[in-house]
């Protein structure tokens, strides 16, 4: 379970890093953003030398495959985070700026 949490939080880090970089270079093409985010996930797991397969005890053919495919999972996980943040903010109504709607009033 810890390894899934590591992949999920690495996905969050990749998502925020990619959004920062794309904002700096003003990039709007979704195809390039997809490839860049997947590549950033691979770079992150290669730098950390992290393989979720090794953590789960799953054998892979060569040692380079573990971090590569884990990086693809991390890059794919980064596409889940905008929906998660949107879901949480819709339940908490954060960002709406309307405090009166959140505070119940007595009659």
Q: What is the mean pLDDT of each run of 10 residues along the chain (107 residues)?
A: 90 93 88 91 94 85 89 92 88 62 60
Q: What angle do CA 95, 101, 107 make, to 5 degrees?
A: 165
| pLDDT for the residue 59 | 83
pTM of the model: 0.75
Contact 41, 73 (CB under 8 A): yes
Q: What are phi and psi of 54, to 5 degrees?
A: -65, -35
Residue 62: give the domain boundaries: 2-95
Query: What domain count does the chain have?
Result: 1
Element (H, E) at 99: helix 99-102
**Collapsed DSSP state (helix, strand, coil) of residue 65:** helix
Question: 78 in a domain, yes or no?
Answer: yes
Question: 106 in a domain, yes or no?
Answer: no
Positive or negative, the CA dihedral 63, 10, 79, 27 is negative
Question: 100 in a domain, yes or no?
Answer: no
Question: 102 in a domain, yes or no?
Answer: no
């Amino acid at each position: 379970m810890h390894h899934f949490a590591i992949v999920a939080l690495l996905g969050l880090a990749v998502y925020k890093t990619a959004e920062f970089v794309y904002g700096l270079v003003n990039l709007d093409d979704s195809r390039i953003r997809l490839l860049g985010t997947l590549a950033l996930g691979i770079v992150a797991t290669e730098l950390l030398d992290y393989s979720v397969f090794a953590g789960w005890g799953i054998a892979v053919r060569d040692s380079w495959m573990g971090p590569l495919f884990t990086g693809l999972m991390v890059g794919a996980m980064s596409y889940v985070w905008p929906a998660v943040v949107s879901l949480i903010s819709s339940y908490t109504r954060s960002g709406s700026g309307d405090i009166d709607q959140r505070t119940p009033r007595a009659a």
